[in-house]
Amino acid sequence: MSSHETFLDPVLLARISDLPLLARTVVDGFMHGLHRSAKKGLSLDFAEHRQYQPGDDLRRIDWKAYARTDRFYVKEYEADTNAGVLFALDVSASMDYASGAVNKFAYARMLVAALAWLTQRQGDRVGLATFSDRLIEVIPPSTRHLQLLFHALGRAKPTGEGKLPLAIDRVADVATRPGIVVLVTDCYDEPAALGRSVDALRARGHDVLLFHLLDSAEEDFPFDAAAVFEDGESGLRLPLRPEDLKERYQTMWRGHRAALEKRFAAAGVDYIAVRTDAPLDRALYAYLDHRLSRSRVR
C-alpha cells in the first residue's frame, strides 16, 4: 500500500474520532495521490477553471495554470461557479451492517465528511440531510455550515427502518434551490421506486450523484455454516443453510444491481457503487469527475 493510499484506508481512518481531522487527512492524502496520478482531466481547480474554448475572453486565461499544465484554462468568477451541494445520508439500521472492520454507516460518514471538506475548499456551499423513513436533520447548503455538518454527522446513528423513496421525496421537498444532491445509501429498496424518487430531484433541476454503499459479504456471500440470519431493520429472523441458497442469492443480487444501474442511468443520475473495504479515492475521483463534467456544460 502506497503512502497516499494509507491516508485513504477506511480501517485506519475509522480510528480517528475527530471528523474535521479525518476529513482533512483524507483530502490531503487524496490530493497527494491526485498530483502523482496519471489520470487526465482531473484538477483540484475544477470549481474555478474550465478549458479554454474559441471565442472566450483572452483576458480570463489563467497563465499560471498554463505554465503548470501547458493547457489553456479560463478563470471563472465565484458568482459563476459556486454551487450548493446537499449531502443526503441514509441512517437507517441496515447501514449498521459490517462483515469486516468498518460498517456501511461509518464508511458513509467518512465519505460525506471528506467530500464536504473538499467541496467547501472549492468555495461551494455545503449542506446535509440525514434520513431513514423520514428526514431526521436538515442543514441547508451554505458556505458557513461545514462545522454544523460535522456536528450533525457526529450525532447521527444508524437506526430505524428505511423507506428510501419516501425519504428521498422529502429531500426533494426541502432542496428547493437547484444544485447538486449527493445521495449516500445502501439502496435497500425497489429500483423502480428509487428511480421515481430521483426523478423528482432531477425534475427540480438538481444534478444527482448516488453512492451505493456495499459490504463485501453482500456480493461474495461467504457464509458456509447453517445459521440464523436477522434482518437489520425489521428484526425478522430466519434459520438458513447458506449452501442451499447461495447461487439463487447471488443471481438475485446481480439482478438488483443491474436494475439499479439501468434505472439511474435512465434518470440521468451518476451511480457509483463503493465497497466498504476499498480506499476512499475511487469515490472522490467519481465526485470530482462529476463536477468537472458539470462545469464543462455550463
CATH number, position 172: 3.40.50.410
217-241 pLDDT, tens digit per residue, is 998 988 888 878 887 777 788 888 8
Domain that holds residue 76: 57-81
Mean pLDDT of 8-21: 90
Are residue 239 and residue 282 in the same domain, yes or no? yes
Does position 53 have pLDDT exceeding 70, yes or no? no
Are residue 216 and residue 91 in the same domain, yes or no? yes
**Residue at 50 is within a domain:** no
Q: How far apart are CA 218 and CA 224, in angstroms?
A: 14
**Least confident piece of the model among 34-38, 43-47, 62-66, 262-266:** 43-47
Does position 36 have pLDDT exceeding 70, yes or no? no
Query: Per-residue confidence at 262, pLDDT binned at 50, 70, 90?
Result: very high
**Contact (CB, 8 A) for 122 and 31:** no
Which residue in the block uniquely carries the three cell numbers 483540484? Answer: 44
**Residue at 246 is within a domain:** yes
Angle between helices 242-266 and 191-203 (to 10 degrees): 20
The CB-side HSE value for 145 (13 A sphere, CA atoms) comes to 20
- Tell me, what's the pLDDT at 58? 65
Are residue 203 and residue 77 in the same domain, yes or no? no
**Residue at 47 is within a domain:** no
- Tell me, what's the pLDDT at 145? 96
Are residue 77 and residue 184 in the same domain, yes or no? no
Are residue 100 and residue 171 in the same domain, yes or no? yes
Are residue 62 and residue 196 in the same domain, yes or no? no
Write out the E strands in 72-199. 73-75, 84-90, 125-131, 135-142, 180-185
**Contact (CB, 8 A) for 30 and 39:** no
Are residue 221 and residue 286 in the same domain, yes or no? yes
Q: How far apart are CA 105 and CA 116, in angstroms?
A: 16
**Residue at 43 is within a domain:** no
Query: Per-residue confidence at 2, pLDDT binned at 50, 70, 90?
Result: very low
Count of positions (residues) in the chain: 298
**Residue at 46 is within a domain:** no
**Residue at 25 is within a domain:** yes
- Domain boundary, last residue among 25, 49, 81: 81
**Least confident piece of the model among 38-47, 230-239, 247-256:** 38-47
Are residue 30 and residue 75 in the same domain, yes or no? no
- Tell me, what's the pLDDT at 265? 95
Structural domain count of the chain: 2
Q: Higher confidence at residue 230 or residue 142?
A: 142
**Least confident piece of the model among 68-82, 89-103, 212-226, 238-252:** 68-82
Are residue 61 and residue 88 in the same domain, yes or no? no
143-202 pLDDT, tens digit per residue, is 999 999 999 999 999 998 888 999 999 999 988 889 999 999 999 999 999 999 999 999
Are residue 69 and residue 213 in the same domain, yes or no? no
Which residue in the block uniquely carries the three cell numbers 449498521? Answer: 96
**Residue at 164 is within a domain:** yes
**Contact (CB, 8 A) for 73 and 50:** yes
Are residue 193 and residue 210 in the same domain, yes or no? yes
**Contact (CB, 8 A) for 123 and 80:** no
Does position 80 have pLDDT exceeding 50, yes or no? no
**Residue at 42 is within a domain:** no
Are residue 67 and residue 156 in the same domain, yes or no? no
220: left (phi over 0), alpha (psi -120 to 50) or beta: alpha
Tell me how far apart the terminal alpha carbons of the chain are, to the nearest angstrom: 38
What is the chain's mean pLDDT, rounded?
84
User: H helices within 158-280, ranges in order?
Assistant: 164-174, 191-203, 216-220, 242-266
Does position 109 have pLDDT exceeding 50, yes or no? yes
What is the chain's Cα-based Rg? 20
- Tell me, what's the pLDDT at 40? 46
